[in-house]
A and B are shown apart, each in its own frame.
Chain A
Amino acid sequence: MNYFPEEVLEHVFDFLTSHRDRNAVSLVCKSWYSVERFSREKVFIGNCYAVNPERLIARFPRVRSLTLKGKPHFADFNLVPHDWGGYVYPWIEAMAKSGINLEELRLKRMVVSDESLELLAKSFPNFKSLVLVSCEGFTTDGLAAIASNCRFLRELDLQENEVDDRKGQWLSCFPDTCTSLVSLNFACLKGEVNVAALERLVARCRNLRSLRLNHAVPLDALQKILVQAPQLNDLGTGSFLHDPDSEAYCKLKNAIKKCKSIRSLSGFLDVNTRCLPAVYPICTNLTSLNLSYAPGIYSSELIKLICHCKKLERLWILDTIGDKGLGVVASTCKELQELRVFPSDLYDGVGNAAVTEEGLVAISAGCPKLNSLLYFCQQMTNAALITVAKNCPNFIRFRLCTLDPTIPDAVTNQPLDEGFGAIVQSCKGLKRLSVSGLLTDQVFLYIGMYAEQLEMLSIAFAGDSDKGMLYVLNGCKKLKKLEIRDSPFGNVALLADVGKYETMRSLWMSSCEVTYGACKTLAEKMPRLNVEIINEGEQIEASPDDRHRVEKMYLYRTLVGPRRDAPEFVWTL
């Protein structure tokens, strides 16, 4: 291969889009490593503390698109304290100083300050795309800076972030010369927006394909917007409340009919269900539907809507749909690939509609293309899971959450080991799995034995002994992320194969049986791991007894040693 000029190699590498392929290619030989690193434009960093900005810039000087992930996944469920870390500022600062030509920044679970956004907006003249998912720390002032300064902005996508509303007019900060927007998603913002400015913005951005509004945009504004943007592919309505007998509603119906390109629909943050029929005309072509933020839509209305959606490939919904409703989905949505059913009531109210194993079995029978599932349910059985495994061998992601975390098989009262065992045995391509319900070490034996492609596993209130965790660590060769809470796994499992953790991105263990002593031992043996102990609560002892259990441990491989921005309550051993 050393008689190929570098330009040829580079041209060949251009066809490699996945970062894993590029990573593999860079390991072949020094010359390939060198060509690859100078030509890589998109860099993915799954754990922002595994490397640092300097190393990124040194290795990939031509980076144009950076994806960074910060906090561990369990931070979503309030298990990680607020100021644990994951700050983006140092990355932006370093890239600005080094003259990186940054065009795209995608962040997940990171802390993003207004200062970071301002620096970002002013440092990269070609900046085009900002995607923030589950981030926090910024306000609408930061968004104003982006709007004002990024002359070629194509994408501003805010998904499920905690944003402080400063009652400024950030939307009005897009200059009249801004016509480049392709995607704008501000559904997670709480405050008012300048609706007139929004309408003008939409009118001048002729390439706009994706628009997701927040609850402050009323239905009549939606109508005016759709008239200006019939070319939309993806629409997130704001509030969907109006008098269905009004002229405004009538105009909306007509406007929607003209939007023949809409393939993805979401929103309905406030809804009058009598207004829903307005969207029926676009349902026929929908491939993606997200009604999981619309608790106001009852089961019967959901069913009526879904009956029109024969081409649906992705459906996110609340469990108000019920098992019957899922039956309708099963007979209507033959192209379904991804289903997420979220709980509608967390507090177990009386008459709470939830879904059971029945709904899931129906879906598996009706939707053979199903490959991704998130299912919160009231109960489950092994028989159901075995049937699902038979019907749908193509699962890549399978996440089951019983509302009672240790509930046994609803019919036999047995653990759900056999059911999950059937899933891992049948679904040879399974990459992500979350288990719940009453589970013994047996389920982990099955997982270790069969889940050969498994990359991420989430465990809660499961297992009997260290054996369980050992089965997983020994068996799942491709495991990247393991997160465990409230399970009886301890030091023996933790220390059995310390080298394993360098093949993984991270391990989270909380409310398990591991002790300080074992964590210290692990940290000593493995200098290229950061073993973090997270101590909340008032009593932070100076040197806890080695025999004390650790409440929360998060360990991850890293090239750059202990991080210097850890707060007081996080100790890197």
Chain B
Amino acid sequence: MEKNGLGSLETELRLGLPGGGGEVEIKNEKKRGFSDCYGGGENKNQVVGWPPVAAYRRKNVFNGGKMYVKVSMDGAPFLRKVDLSMHKGYSELVKALEELFGCYGIGEALKDEEDKCEYVPIYEDKDGDWMLLGDVPWQMFTESCKRLRIMKRADANGMGLHAKDLLKGLSKED
């Protein structure tokens, strides 16, 4: 089991059933340096909290503090934009999305309840991977989210799949 430079296994995307493995950390494994994991200087801003600029300063100096990202919803004729800096957490964001598209129940997918809602909210992160909303702490999410998509659950292969398994069917290209 590989550890990434962040050492945060919980946030590492991998294919497979959630909570699977049950393997124990091998604590003797040498921690890899930042560059080992992320190569040259390309992805240096993928890390939470680096460079260490205070959150207040981030909000007020950069982009005027706004964090607009595009939101697409399967079946909707045009996209919308939402400002992530206006929300304090996932529940507020989901409410905003529901109002934006007039579609309710988007948040159900986050609670791991199968078949309750036909839509699943996902986002593309800085690595270009599509992630299910809600796994990582809110601040980490706002720093890494590039765009949002409200996907039709039925678009994924198979029926009655656990939400996390739907990610198998997604490619990096939208």
Contact = CB atoms under 8 A, between A and B. Distances in A.
Given A78-B139, A78-B143, A547-B24, A346 B54 contact: no
Nearest to B10: A537
Interface stretch (A60-68, A324-332, A443-451, A485-493): A485-493
Interface in B72-122: 88-89
Contacts of A74: 49
A556 interface: no
Contact of B54 (A77, A458, A488, A551): A77
B47 A405 contact: yes
Interface stretch (A23-31, A200-208, A233-241, A337-345): A337-345
Nearest to B54: A76
Interface string A172-204: 000000000000000010000000000000000
A295 B58 CA distance: 12
Given A511-B6, A515-B25, A547-B27, A76 B52 contact: yes
Most A Cβ at <10 Å: residue of B31, B60, B140, B143: B31
Contact of A488 (B31, B56, B137, B140): B31
Interface in A378-423: 401, 403-407
A76 B140 CA distance: 13
B6 A486 contact: yes
A295 B61 contact: yes
Nearest to B30: A488
A461 interface: yes
Contacts of A253: none
Given A78-B143, A82-B138, A134 B54 contact: yes
A81 B34 CA distance: 23
B49 A77 contact: yes
B89 to A, nearest CB: 8
A436 to B, nearest CB: 9
Contacts of B135: 537-538
User: B11, B33, B135 — which one has the most chain A CB atoms within 10 A of its CB?
Assistant: B33
Contacts of A513: 27, 31
Interface residues of A, number: 54
B159 interface: no
Interface in A475-512: 485-488, 490-491, 511-512
Interface in A49-84: 74, 76-79, 81-82
B9 to A, nearest CB: 9
B8 A348 contact: no
Given A160-B54, A347-B45, A403-B51, A293 B61 contact: yes
> Which range contains the number of B residues in contact with the other chain?
35 or more
A461 B33 contact: yes
Contact of B56 (A162, A346, A434, A491): A162
Interface in B113-159: 135-140, 143
B25 A549 contact: yes
Contacts of B143: 78
A549 B55 contact: no
A367 interface: no
A108 to B, nearest CB: 12
B135 to A, nearest CB: 7
A457 to B, nearest CB: 14
Contacts of B31: 486-488, 512-513
Nearest to A465: B30
The residue among A79, A344, A434, A486 with the most chain B CB atoms within 10 A of its own CB is A486
Contacts of A348: 41, 44-45
B57 interface: yes
A539 interface: yes
A513 B26 CA distance: 10
A513 B25 CA distance: 10
Nearest to A347: B45
A274 interface: no
A467 to B, nearest CB: 13
B11 A537 contact: yes
Contacts of A512: 7, 31
A347 B10 CA distance: 25
A555 B70 CA distance: 41
A163 to B, nearest CB: 11
Contacts of B88: 82
Nearest to B7: A511
Interface in A502-547: 511-513, 515, 536-539, 545, 547
Contacts of B55: 76-78
A511 B8 contact: yes
A442 to B, nearest CB: 15
B93 to A, nearest CB: 14
B61 A401 contact: no
A549 B27 CA distance: 7
Contacts of B62: 295, 345-347
Contact of B53 (A81, A342, A485, A486): A342
B169 interface: no
A160 B57 CA distance: 8
B143 to A, nearest CB: 7
A458 to B, nearest CB: 8
A485 B48 CA distance: 11
Contacts of A153: none
Contacts of A77: 48-50, 52-55
A351 B136 CA distance: 32
B19 A539 contact: yes
Contacts of A538: 10, 135
Given A292-B61, A404-B44, A405-B44, A515 B27 contact: yes
Interface string B21-47: 000110100110111000001001101
A318 interface: yes
Contact of B51 (A161, A188, A293, A376): A376
B27 A188 contact: no
A223 B157 CA distance: 65
A491 B62 CA distance: 39
A551 B7 contact: yes
5 contacts: A78-B140, A160-B54, A343-B53, A376-B53, A545-B25
The 8 A-B pairs of least Cβ separation, nearest first, read A77-B49, A488-B31, A78-B139, A406-B34, A76-B54, A160-B56, A511-B7, A537-B10
